[in-house]
Amino acid sequence: MNTWRAFDGAFTMHLRLYTFRRSRFITAIVAPATTGAIGVLVLRTTNDSAAAFCRVLVGGGLAGMWGSLLGTAVFTLRREREWYGTLPLLSVVPAPVEAIFGAYLLAEAAIGFAGIVASLLVGWGILGGRIAIVSPDVFAVSTVLSAVSLGALALVFMPVVVLLPILTRWINMLEYPVWLLAGFLFPVALLPGWMNHLSPLVSAYWATEAMSGAAEGSGWSGILPDWASLAGLSAGYVALSIVLLRLVVTRVRHSGALTLG
């Protein structure tokens, strides 16, 4: 119950703080819509498949969501410490830190839904209404699972950037490998063979598969393996994040980095 209340509180607070900020309009709506639009315009010169257009538009939305999540994962601790000064307080509440920061990321993923909608709408406009979500119910479930799995993947990065601070300087380089491995804008089959083996380890790959599949009309049974992969990888990411976050908290209590950093 403790964890749930903390999760609920942190989720609500993140939405209150960041949903309607003007700067978020660019990152949450304009960026994914632009990515999707560029993908469609490039693809249209060589391809006329509605399924391929759908994939690229879903990929554009997911790319936007991933970018926002990665930014949140990398900068949340710094923001709580340097902007709000709340990090010491969050560190001494009874609630587990993974519930607080996990909720922030899930709230950010929820904001990212707007990017998926924006990307699909822009594509729909460019293509004159030629795309459609064939299985909307399966698509909706896939979208929620995808958001959760991207949030879980981002949660792994949160302690990692504390343990390896130099990574914060290379945030974009952390963003693009996932674009490639997930096949956001083109099929992963186009990548070198060794990268094809890595893709299934990245939940964003299964998110793209599940959402594109649902948009193209895969039924419940066809999409179940994708959902299972999303759920399994998310659970693994969350478990790894909990271990790493607790390691960070212990190291901070030992080193006093919160006070001297």
**Cα three-residue angle 205-232-251, rounded to 5 degrees:** 95
Taking the complex as a whole, the smallest distance from the CB of residue 99 to other proteins amounts, in Å, to: 9
Radius of gyration of the chain (CA): 19
If one asks whether residue 163 binds other proteins (CB under 8 A), the answer comes out as no
If one asks whether residue 1 binds other proteins (CB under 8 A), the answer comes out as yes
Q: Which of 16, 42, 47, 136 binds other proteins (CB under 8 A)?
A: 16
CA nearest neighbour of 214 among 149, 148, 151, 145: 145
Q: Which of 22, 94, 173, 194 binds other proteins (CB under 8 A)?
A: 94
How far apart are the C-alpha atoms of 32 and 26, rounded to whole Å?
9
If one asks whether residue 19 binds other proteins (CB under 8 A), the answer comes out as no
Q: Which of 54, 100, 133, 174 binds other proteins (CB under 8 A)?
A: 100
Angle, helix 171-182 to helix 203-216, in steps of 10 degrees: 50
- For 163, other C-beta atoms within 10 Å of its C-beta total 11
If one asks whether residue 253 binds other proteins (CB under 8 A), the answer comes out as yes
**Cα three-residue angle 201-217-180, rounded to 5 degrees:** 30
Q: Which of 50, 95, 117, 180 binds other proteins (CB under 8 A)?
A: 95
Q: Mask 214-243, x = binds other proteins (CB under 8 A)?
A: ------------------------------
Which two structure tokens, joined as six digits, stand for 11?
A: 């989720």
Taking the complex as a whole, the smallest distance from the CB of residue 104 to other proteins amounts, in Å, to: 12
If one asks whether residue 165 binds other proteins (CB under 8 A), the answer comes out as no
Contacts with 104 (C-beta within 8 Å, 6 or more apart), sequence order: 10, 11, 14, 72, 76
Residue entry with tokens 């929820």 = 110
Taking the complex as a whole, the smallest distance from the CB of residue 88 to other proteins amounts, in Å, to: 6
Contacts with 147 (C-beta within 8 Å, 6 or more apart), sequence order: 65, 106, 109, 110, 112, 113
Q: Which is nearer to other proteins, 5 or 130 (CB)?
A: 5
Taking the complex as a whole, the smallest distance from the CB of residue 82 to other proteins amounts, in Å, to: 9
Q: Which is nearer to other proteins, 16 or 130 (CB)?
A: 16
Q: Which is nearer to other proteins, 93 or 243 (CB)?
A: 93
If one asks whether residue 245 binds other proteins (CB under 8 A), the answer comes out as no
Residue entry with tokens 């993923």 = 109
Q: Which is nearer to other proteins, 95 or 117 (CB)?
A: 95
If one asks whether residue 197 binds other proteins (CB under 8 A), the answer comes out as no
Which two structure tokens, joined as six digits, stand for 115?
A: 């990017």
CA dihedral 105, 174, 57, 227 (to 10 degrees): -60
Binding site for other proteins (CB under 8 A): 1-2, 5-6, 8-10, 12-13, 16-17, 84-86, 88-95, 100, 253-256, 258-260
